Structure formats: structure tokens, C-alpha cells
Structure 1
Amino acid sequence: MAKSTNNTSTAKGIYPVTGMSCASCANNIESATQALTGVVNASVNFANEKLLVEYNPQLIQPGALKEAIRQIGYDIELDESVDTSQAHQQKLSSLRFKTILSIILSAPVVFIGMFWMNMPYANEIMLILSTPVIFWLGKDFFVNAWKQARHRKANMDTLVALSTGIAYIFSVFNMIFPQVWHEIGLHNHVYFESAAVIISFILLGRYLEEKAKESTSGAIKKLIGLQPDEVTILYEGKASAILLSAVKIDDILLVKPGEKIAVDGVVVDGSSYIDESMLNGEPMPVQKKQADKVFAGTINQNGSLQYKAQKVGKDTLLAQIIQLVESAQGSKAPVQKLVDKIAGIFVPVIILLSIVTLITWSVLGENGFSQGLYAMITVLIIACPCALGLATPTALMVGIGKGAEKGILIKDAESLEVAKSIDTIILDKTGTITEGKPLVTHIEWFNKKEKDEQILYSLEHLSDHPIAKAISNHYSDMLPVAVQNFENYTGRGVKASFEGKNYFAGNRFFLEENGIQLNYSIPAELLKHAPTIIWMAEDTTVKAMISIADTVKTGSVEAIRQLQAKGMEIHMLTGDNADTAKLIAEQVNISHYQADMLPQQKAAFIEVLQKEGRKVAMVGDGINDSTALAQADLSIAMGSGSDIAMDVAQMTIISSDLNKIVAAIELSKQTSNTIRQNLAWAFIYNLIGIPVAAGVLYPFNGFLLNPMLAGAAMALSSVSVVVNSLRLKWKQ
């Protein structure tokens, strides 16, 4: 699905890839794509088999990407209407058929090769049974290996094709010309059973791997499943069913109890409770009435609602979440760069090692060439890079998907890597620790004139700041006047002119920097309830003092306590006054806090902490705190509904619940630990398996690994990595 980025010169696409068999394939596609003129960045996820590419549409089109990828033996699907899940099921069905049939044909070959070698026509029977296994059921290995060879590349299919092909050809030669070996005093071994069983085990491994990988993408499937196929539209008082794709902006839709909201919109009639757990991970339903916003994928519980469509298709919040999760699952953690480099040279190195193994055995072994060939085949089989390629992406897919289900949107894999090392957290006050929905508790006017309240309302209703909204909501039944030259000063206040006079509304510092003296003391009773004080002035004359109160969110105290218990140092930075900051800090047990801070001062404060060697996470609303969010090592935006700040932060907590920060950090640690476990297993497997396959133990105890066992071990290594990643799903 192509999607324009914030930079109008580039576009992004996420395309399903076909033909991959291992991590080397992903690297081949990635390098070929990045080499194209106009491609800014490309990343291939072997686990979910998708290409994430950013490109300049003026220089290259998706069709050219497809052609370049096809030239190296793979393909991508550009048509968004194609159901890739159906293609995946067809692939699974094909693998299941090939696996079952190959095992049926291979079983008698194994028994003959191991127990009944002296029976009449043993070699001929094994030849007849193993040939369809290798060249029909295992045909794809040879076809893909040939495609790679044509472009001077190699992958896992190359290893499988070489090992089974050599074993088969050598066996046929020995069966037809046994005298060649007898004349030099050697036994004419055949390896039909090894070749057939290797194909069977690898097919079985791929089938189990695909089944396991299918589970890692469960989060995306759940999100996509939240979209209804049909909706009920109201036109001229009549209700009729139409396809979701036919819904247009401003259509009036009807949702009945138990049905899903189809698109983002606003309620125009009715009242009900909506289950929004798919957005925020919270089980409690939210009441919706006229003028409230509703979001695609949420579930209507009891009453009927009529709502006007405001965002449809790819513009809905649900579609954006799906896009974000897919992009994040396709991104790569920093550790993956090292893995990619290893995987890129892995197959050629293994081929070289297998040749060295054959030569060494031929020179030093008593029955050298035959045993050397046996060891060579085993080395080619056991050294599969699949486990290495699956180690990181499968863990990331499960971790990022689990986060999405819990209302934690993770923008990329790197943020998960960073989150586990955070030791300092900076919290904004308004909307982060507190509800962010302040209310006007008191207004004291000085020399009030007839239009002063209208002017105050007119100034504040032009601003999106929560405090400005509190004031404009206080005067919601008032009509604005036409102010001119409106200017918004982030974190400080607003300014405009009306009938030749300048009007200001903002904090103490904003008025003072505009030459307005505040010779008024704030009553202690007001400060007692932790208000924010906003001043209004006309030219240089103070007109009003507005007291605004905000309350601490339910759960903020416990979330901060948990973060501190994990060894985090918590700082609260706010643009509010010192008295308010102190009171809120005391309520949530934060000892480090700063008041009266401008956005750039917050960023400077974070920079100081970073110079001290601290890893800093900034948690804010993603708008006023954008400078600080950009400066921090990890940026976390608190958002809800349409205010979600996806493009600003590396993580977004949809529900604005601070407890989700605790969960996000714990999730990052669990995911990183799983990645390390997977990589450790993949590396240890190869470090031990390859020397044993080459015959390093033979001089000591006469042990030489059977190629069939090598095939089973290779299949098990890939499946075990995916299963270990899936364990993340059930962790708390």
C-alpha cells in the first residue's frame, strides 16, 4: 500500500514479497532495491515477507521496482486489492501436500537404505521413490537456486540444491558404474535416502515455520478484522446496506447494537456506549452522544447511533494504526544490521567450507572421497541461515503487534531497542500527568468593559492549547468578534488586535515580555487548589486574571511509583507557574520538577541530562513538546482519538494512560531479551553444528553426523526461533 510521506518528494510502499527462502534472499532483494535510482531506503522483513520502500515517484515507479526484483528471481505484489492472506493459505496447502507426500515416499527409502540394502533391486527401488521427492516435490529448491546462480548470488536453496543434487547424482553414478570404486578398493555407497529425507525434513520445517510465522502477524489480522464488510447508510430517511468501500465523506451512517463503527465520524443522533479497547486497550466502554467523535473498528454496545462520515478508507485512525504497525514490523533493529552482514556472506562461506571439508577428507581419510562427500553434504544442509534471519524480525513482529493490541503504537524497531536502556523519564504536566482538560474556576476582572469577555473568547478559541480550550469552553455560548493579526506563541500565550488596540492573553512571562506590569498578587486560596493563572491585557493595562484547574489522572501516581521502583529518575517539566508545579509534583511524589519552562528550555534541559550520560525518554502531547520530543533518546506521545501524534513520536500511547509507559518499557525489555535469545541460539547452533557436520569429532570417537539428522536439526532450529518469539504473546 503506497502512502505519501510528510516530504512531498517521496512516497512509501509496503509490498508482499514472493520467492524468499532465507535471510540471504531478503538481503539480495534489499540490496537490489536500494541500488535503484530514486529509491531512498528499502528494508525487507523475512518474517512477514514484505518489502518496505521509500522512493521518489518522479524518478522511479513501483512497476520498475517489481521488474528489478523479478530479474533477480523474486517478485512483489503491487495490487492492493489482492488478498495476500489467501495466497499464504495456498502456499501452506501446497507445502502440506508436498511434505506429506515426500514423507510417504521417503519412508521406504530410509528403511531400505538402513536395513535392507542387500535385498534385490534395492538401489533401483530407492532411485524410483527418491526421484519424484527430489525433482518434483523439491523442484522449487533447484529452480530458485538456478535463478540465484544466473545472477551470481546464492541462498539457502543453493545449499539444499547442491547437497541433495550432489548426493543424488553421486548415488546414480555409483549404482550404474559400481566397478569404478571397486577397482580402487572402495565401497560404492549410495545416498538416495539422505537426499530424499533432507528434502522431506526441509519441507516439513518450512511448513511448520510458515504456520508459526502466521501467528506472529496476528495483531495485523485482528486490526484488519475490525473493519466491517458492509455498512448501513441513511438516505432521505431510508436505510440501505452498501459496501464499506462505497462510503463517502459526509454520508450519514447507522450503527446498531453490537455492530462495528465503519469509518471515523461524528455522532449526529442517538446515544450509546462504545467499546474502544482496540484503540486504547481499556476494557471500559465510552459514552457517545451528539457531537462526539467515533472511530472505525470500535464496537457499538447498546443504543443505536447515526453518525456523519468524516474520514474514510486510508484516512481513518484504524487504517493509520494498521499502516504504522505494518511499517514498524517491517523496520529493523540496530542489531539486525550486523545479522544482515553475516547472512549476506553466510552462504558463500558455507559453500567454501563444504569444499574444504571434501578436500580435507579426500586427503586424510581412509575412505576419503566417499566420507568427504558425506560430510560435505551434511555441512551444506546443517548450515541454514534461516534461524539467523528469523531471530530478530519474528520477535519484533510479536512485540510490536502485542503493543498495538494494548494501545501502545511503536513507530520502529529502533525505539524498542532504545526503550530498554532508558534511565531517566521527563514528563510534561498538562495532559500527561494531569487530565489535560482544565476548567475555568474563577475569573477576576479589572476595569471590565462591555466587549472584554467577547475579546477574551475570540483570542482563545483560535488556539488549540488545552488551557485556551478551557477558556473558550467557559464562554461556549458567546459569539466571537473579528480580531485581526492573531499570533500564537507556543507555551506562552496569544496576541491579536481589535478596533485599534492590542490584546494579550497568556502567562506572566508572556505579558511581562510585552511590557505589561503585573502588580497583582494571586490569592492564596486560589493557589491552594493548584490552578494555572492566565492574564489578559489591553495594550499595557491588565484586564483579567483567569484561574484554571487541572486534576491528576487516575493511575498517574501508581505509574510514577512503578517507574521509580524500576530505577527510573523522573522529572516533571511544565510551562505552568512554580506553585502549581510544586503542588502537582507533591501529589504524584516527584522530587525533580521545573516550572515556567518554554519548549526550547525543556529541550535544553534534556540535552544537559544526555551530556551527563543519561538515556532520556520524553513524554508529552507531541505538539507543544515537539522540540523536547525530538531531543530525547526516546519520544513518547500521549494522545487520544484524532489527537494522536503518530508523526511526532517514536511511541504513542493512545489512551494517555501513564501506566502504558511502564508496559511499553517492559515490553521493550522482553522483546530485546527474546531477540538476544534467538540470536544466541542461531549462532550457537551454527558454531557447534558446522564443525560437527564437517567431522571434527570423527578422529576422537568415530562420530560422523548423518545428513538426515542435519536436515532435521536445521528445520528444528528455524521453528524453535519462531516458537520462542511467540512466547512473547503470553508474557505479562
Structure 2
Amino acid sequence: MEKVNWKVEGMSCTNCALTVDKFLQGKGMQQVKVNFVGGDVSFEIGNGTSKQELEKGIEGLGYHVLNGEGAKSKGSKKLFRNHLQRFTWCIIFTAPLMLHMIPGIHIHFLMNPYVQLALTIPVFVIGMDFFGRSAIKSLLKGIPNMNVLIALGSIAAFVYSLYGTLTGQAEQYLFYETAAAIITLVFLGNWLEDKSVETTQAALKKLAVSQKVMANMIAYDEQHQEHIFPVESASLKVGDLVLIKSGEPVPMDSKILWGEANVNEAIVTGESIPVEKKMNDLLIGGSVVESGTLKAYITAVGEDTVLANILKLVREAQTEKPPVQQLADKISAIFVPTVLSIALLAFLGNYFFGHQPFSSSLLRSIAVLVIACPCAMGLATPAAIAVGLGRAARNGVLFKNARSLELFKSIRQVVFDKTGTLTTGQFIIAGFHATGDADDFKRIVFSLEKYSNHPIARAITKEWKVKDDIRWSKIEEIKGLGMQATDKEGNQYLAGSYKAAAAHTGDDKHNIYLLRNNELLGWIDVSDEIRPEAASVIAALKARGMTTILLSGDRKEKCEQVAAQLGIDQVIAEQTPQQKLDQISAFNAKAPTAMVGDGINDAPALAKATVGISLSDASHVAMQSAQVVLMNHGLKNLPLALGLGRHTYITIKENLFWAFAYNIVAIPVAALGFLNPTFGALVMGLSDVVLAINSVRLNFKKVA
């Protein structure tokens, strides 16, 4: 199965997305996800159907595939390419028709029905080219969209007026301005909606624009002379050499060959403080070298870069529908037929039972058609999710699916792994004891441990580095015991675990013991360095009333020591991966649980938790198992992730309340004659703008 990701233009509501979804599923596509807000469509193709055939089918529905295989040859040939252009054209002809509505203005020739007909036709033709065409296609596919309502309302007003004009009864039938105003104001509303929805995508667009930059490519001639010339980053290939100067962006993911620099990785981590980079360190494409000069070779380009993968994951998350959207989607699917029925009942009720004239009854039914807004229900969730995911990505929090955003609202307890999660995974010397001279003790330990690759050995040699180290005649690492060596005088040394010193002391609480000729010279304590932000993160979670739990495979004493330092509520230590999985299952049964981990042994538990959270420097398996990744090399943004999840859900609920309340109130008001179709068309467009504005507030709300 091949995964296909397309950008589709022209979808304006949930019903549009449902039409595309139904078409692709009808063609046998798997894992179909359609997001009308961003225009993202993804699916798996593998049954012999060609992409060109699918693209042609989507084009036939009235939408345009921007990045399909036929995209280049299919440039838009239409006179009007967007709603602003359509509105500008229509308002030129509609404005004169509306003049008589202004008190004190009465232009006699504008009251001529044939003049009004002439002014209405250009608007009506453009309106039917867009709304009528879309309405017919949606009806043929069995999923009527909101354009059916707009088209019916404007056609009814236009045909009724045309009948009066042709039969010489224009004074009782003159509703040309209603037909023109409906079309014009809905185009205005659609343009305002598009601009509002664009703002919900602003954070993701900022991430995307950084992909296109110029690069200084390094090449060598036959005499091995170095030449540097500018190229577009898009033309770089894996293995190419580049020079990155101070103030320049990193063109693509790369690895440093030469130089040192301070690099701002805020584009991915959200952290504005520059990170020190040196030889063999990795650079993220789109990050900026703030000071220093580097030579690097390209390790990934295009869709394989870190930034491209982040954008891909966020777009996929946007196309997923959380449970709260399912009810709105079901209602949206039957909304248009329901409104058509209400409009018909409004006409019949007003005419036969309300004893209203035919013209008033028709106007009221038209008002019902144009005031109803299925878009509001469809936009409620995607708009909020687009802003929530965008703000998260901009701040170094990567949600892999929209469902996890909603699940955060109910999290009551957070489980942490210890090593690499609450701690940095870097060991430091916590203390030592020497029976003799301390400097001599350090010299012996350094001389032994410099030959070991163990993390504890590396920490010791980093802190106790000496120049006059001992030259051994023989040295070896004994697995499970430690480093053993013999000097030139024949003295035997051993630096190892308690097992090596068990015959000489009953104190088993230390990490490294040093012996010379079976005599104990002293011991060393090391501790895993606690992340500097860990204490404040735990305090923030507890302030929200959440239970914090340390779940680790490490020794109980060490876990309790870390928990005491950070104020963690509960400690469960010395657990195998299977036991961790069982513990998470038990926690989930009590209350929704988030698990934060980084190692391979955490992967099963991360997958089992209500929400699995991984760090960006975690193992690949852990990152794959988690639903949320914190990209700033630490726990700093965990409260932000939890807060964004909760507040995104609150925003979705507010949006859905507005969407339902608006339609529940507006439709009866229109049916009872308290709202004319012209005003109704404007209010319908503005209803979506309200949702978009409410969603954009997520960018500024205090959530952490």
C-alpha cells in the first residue's frame, strides 16, 4: 500500500470533506482522512487504481488537487479564482440594487424591473457557476452541502422576480436585490471565513516557510581546491558539503564536520536559548546559526528531514477526528435535508396557516435557507485543533494525533520513568571516600576507568581527569565485575561493583569500590543528574491536583532518593518492562493516566497509557510508541502539553455550543419573519468567523 498526501482546494465545510471521503472510500482507498480546514487529504492506495483517475474524480466533484500528478497542466482557467474576486465583481452590480434600502435615496430608473434584471444577471451567473455547480455535484454524490441551500434561496428569489417581470406584475414580485444580495454577501462571508481559517493555520505556515533557503555548497576541483557557491536548499542531496556562517539558517538536516557554533533550534523545540554545537553533532534543517561558522554534510533532504516529518505528523493529526466531533459530523450529514424540510414547512405554514401573502411566505423560507449554517458545526472542531496543534508545534510539543489532544482533558495521574526522563542520563560524582591520599585515589581511579565505556566510568574520567595517569602493564574489563589492572611493579588493582569488595566490607550502598592487592582503598558514589526543570514540572502537576508516580526498573533506594528530591507522590521501583506494562494497566483502570518515558523498556507502557509522552532524545521505539513527543530535550513543556490539550477541548465545546445554539435560534427566527434573507446571508457568513476567532484565542490563552 502506498501512502498518498494531497492538498485539495475548494472544500468549505464538513459535507465537502464527507463528499471527498465517500468518493475515495468508494474507490477502495484505505485509511482515508480528509481535513477541509487545511485541505489535507491522505489515503492508502494499492488496488490498481491510478492517482490520475482519483485526481480526475476529485476534480469532478468541484475541488482542485493542488499537488497531484496533473496539477501542473491544470492551472486555474476560471475568471475568478477566489471568493474576494467573486465578491468584488458582485458588489459592483449589487450595490445599486441596494440603494433604495437607504432612507432618503430614491433613484427612479433603478426601480425599473428590467434595469434590476440586467444588474442581477451578472451576479446570478457568477453565483450559479460556483454555488449551483457545487450544489448539483454534491446532490449527485448523495451528500448535499451548504451550497444547495444558497443556490435554492437565490434561485427562488430570482425566478420569482423574473416571473413577475415577464407577466407584468413586477411591483408584487420584485426581489432581484434579495437574489443578488444573498450571492454577494455569502461570497463576502466565505472570504472572511477563509481568512479566519487561515489564521488558525498560521503557526504551521511559519514552520513550513523555513524549508526554502539558500545554501553555501562546498565543492573541490581536480587540484583539491575548495570552491563555495550558492545553491537552493531544495537542490541539495544527501552527502553534499555545506558551509554555514553566523546568522544563516541550516539548509537541511546535517552533521558537523568542522567548527563550533551556537545554534537556535526554536523552530523545532520552541526554546529560544541557543544550543552549543561541535564536531559530529547533528543540525536540524531550519535552525539558525547565531554565532560561529560550521562545515557540515547533508544527512537528510526533503520529506526525510526532521522538520518535514513534524509537519507531516501535525497534518495527519489534523485530519483525524476526535470523539467529540463524531456527533457534529452525523448532524452535518443530515443538516441540509433537514433545513430544506424546515424551509418548506416555513413556507407552507406561513402561507396556509399564518395567512401571509405568497411573497412574504417565500421570503421567510428563503431566509431559513440562507441563515442556516452547517459549516459552523463542521468547523467547530477542526479550527480549534488546527490552532492547538499549531501552537504546540511552535513550542516544541508534537501531537501525533488529534485524539490525544482531547484525552488530556481527563488525565488525573502522570507516571514518570526515572533514567533519561526525570534525570538527564548523565552521571555525576555525588561523593567519595579514600582511606589514603585523595589525589592519589583519584589518579588510580582515572587511570583504570579511562579504558571503560561504561556511563559511570565516563562520568568519573570527565570529572577527575589527570595528566600523570598510570601506565599499566596489563588491563582488562571483567564483565559484571569492573576494571582490573596490573602496574609495572606487579601491584594488582580492581575498580568495580560491590561484588568485587564484598569480602572486605558489608556496606553495599556505593557504586564503585577500589582495591589494591585485595585491600580496600575507598569507594565512590555517583548519581544520575536530575533534570533542572523536573522539580518545577512536578510542582505544576501537583498544583493541578494530579497524582505523580515514579515507575522505574532502577533500585528502590535510588528511586526513593529522586522522588524525595522532586516531591513525587508514589514510587514503584525494580520493575521489568512487563511489570511496567501491568502497572500502567492497573493505573488506567483507576483513572486516565499519562506515561512519560524515553527508553526501549518504556515502549510497551507508553503504548498502553491513556496518553504516552516521549522525549525527543528518547529511543526510536519509545518515540514511535508515544502519542506526544516533547521536542525540547526535556520535560519543560509537559505542563504546556497538558494545558493545551485541556483548553483545546474547552474551545471545541465552546465552538460546538455556538454552532448548535446559532442554528437552533436563527432558523426559527427566520421562519417567523423576523429576519430578511439579505441580513441572513451576512449573519450566516459571520457565524463561521466567530468560531475561527474563538479558536485563534488559543494562541494567546494562558494554558500551562
TM-score range, shorter chain: 0.7 to 0.9
Aligned mates of 1:711, 1:262 — CA distance in 2: 48
Contact 1:134 1:195 in 2 (8 A): yes
Deviations 1:373-409 (A, max 9, x none): 1111111111121111111101100110000010000
Aligned mates of 1:350, 1:418 — CA distance in 2: 33
Give the match for residue 698 of structure 2.
Answer: 728
Give the match for residue 110 of structure 1.
Answer: 98
Question: What residue identity is the alignment partner of 1:233?
Answer: M
Contact 1:644 1:652 in 2 (8 A): no
Alignment of 1:189-588 (within 5 A): 189-236=173-220, 237-438=226-427, 457=453, 523=507, 526=510, 548-588=526-566
Give the match for residue 145 of structure 1.
Answer: 135
Aligned mates of 1:206, 1:641 — CA distance in 2: 44
SS at match of 2:600: coil
Contact 1:11 1:56 in 2 (8 A): yes
Deviations 1:391-447 (A, max 9, x none): 1101100110000010000111100000111001000111111112235788999xx
Deviations 1:68-97 (A, max 9, x none): 4334343423448979xx999x99974223
Deviations 1:636-680 (A, max 9, x none): 001239969542211100113323111111111111111111111
Change (3 A) 1:156 1:469: farther
Give the match for residue 635 of structure 1.
Answer: 612
Contact 2:602 2:622 in 1 (8 A): no
SS at match of 1:389: helix
Give the match for residue 128 of structure 1.
Answer: 118
Contact 1:638 1:644 in 2 (8 A): no
Give the match for residue 685 of structure 1.
Answer: 662
Aligned mates of 1:676, 1:319 — CA distance in 2: 31
Q: Scaled by the length of structure 2, what TM-score is found?
A: 0.84
Select which of 674, 684, 691 maps to 2:651: 674
Contact 1:387 1:718 in 2 (8 A): yes
Contact 2:597 2:614 in 1 (8 A): yes
SS at match of 1:658: coil
Select which of 575, 579, 602 maps to 1:597: 575
Deviations 1:105-150 (A, max 9, x none): 2122123367678945532222121221121255311121222233
Select which of 620, 624, 640 maps to 1:663: 640
Change (3 A) 1:318 1:721: same
Change (3 A) 1:326 1:521: farther
Change (3 A) 1:285 1:366: same
Root-mean-square deviation (Å): 3.8
Aligned mates of 1:36, 1:58 — CA distance in 2: 9
Aligned mates of 2:601, 2:184 — CA distance in 1: 59
Contact 1:622 1:629 in 2 (8 A): no
Alignment of 1:28-39 (within 5 A): 28-37=19-28, 39=29
Contact 1:645 1:652 in 2 (8 A): no
Shift of 1:683: 0.4
Contact 1:274 1:286 in 2 (8 A): yes
Contact 2:449 2:457 in 1 (8 A): no
Aligned mates of 1:708, 1:143 — CA distance in 2: 22
Question: What residue identity is the alignment partner of 1:150?
Answer: L
Shift of 1:154: 1.5
Change (3 A) 1:468 1:454: closer
Give the match for residue 5 of structure 1.
Answer: none
Is 1:711 the counterpart of 2:688? The answer is no
Structure 1 unaligned segments of length 5 or more: list them: 1-9, 182-186, 461-465, 487-492, 495-505, 536-543, 696-702
SS at match of 1:307: strand
Contact 2:212 2:234 in 1 (8 A): no
Is 1:18 the counterpart of 2:9? The answer is yes
Deviations 1:51-74 (A, max 9, x none): 122x14354443343234334343
Aligned mates of 1:468, 1:421 — CA distance in 2: 43
Change (3 A) 1:225 1:561: same
Aligned mates of 2:538, 2:178 — CA distance in 1: 60
Change (3 A) 1:276 1:19: closer
Q: Scaled by the length of structure 1, what TM-score is found?
A: 0.81
Contact 1:92 1:210 in 2 (8 A): no
SS at match of 1:435: strand
Q: Which moved more, 1:363-372 or 1:469-478?
A: 469-478
Give the match for residue 594 of structure 2.
Answer: 617
Aligned mates of 1:212, 1:125 — CA distance in 2: 36
Contact 2:596 2:612 in 1 (8 A): yes
Give the match for residue 606 of structure 1.
Answer: 584
Aligned mates of 1:581, 1:92 — CA distance in 2: 66
Contact 2:55 2:68 in 1 (8 A): no
Aligned mates of 1:647, 1:437 — CA distance in 2: 24
Aligned mates of 1:643, 1:223 — CA distance in 2: 23
Is 1:155 the counterpart of 2:145? The answer is yes
SS at match of 2:529: coil
Aligned mates of 1:169, 1:96 — CA distance in 2: 26
Give the match for residue 484 of structure 2.
Answer: none
Deviations 1:151-179 (A, max 9, x none): 34411111111100111000110122146
Give the match for residue 98 of structure 1.
Answer: 86
Aligned mates of 2:361, 2:9 — CA distance in 1: 36
SS at match of 1:102: helix
Change (3 A) 1:372 1:70: same
Contact 2:408 2:646 in 1 (8 A): yes
SS at match of 1:659: coil
Q: Which moved more, 1:120-129 or 1:269-278?
A: 120-129
Aligned mates of 1:379, 1:212 — CA distance in 2: 25
Question: What residue identity is the alignment partner of 1:28?
Answer: T
Select which of 15, 19, 40 maps to 1:50: 40
Deviations 1:341-386 (A, max 9, x none): 1111111111122122222223223244322211111111111211
Aligned mates of 1:584, 1:267 — CA distance in 2: 36
Aligned mates of 1:439, 1:20 — CA distance in 2: 57
Give the match for residue 485 of structure 2.
Answer: none
Change (3 A) 1:370 1:673: same
Q: Which moved more, 1:434-443 or 1:722-731?
A: 434-443
Question: What residue identity is the alignment partner of 1:576?
Answer: D
The total of aligned residue pairs comes to 655
Contact 2:265 2:288 in 1 (8 A): yes
Contact 2:598 2:618 in 1 (8 A): no
Question: What residue identity is the alignment partner of 1:392?
Answer: T
Question: What residue identity is the alignment partner of 1:301?
Answer: E
Change (3 A) 1:413 1:386: same
Contact 1:14 1:327 in 2 (8 A): no
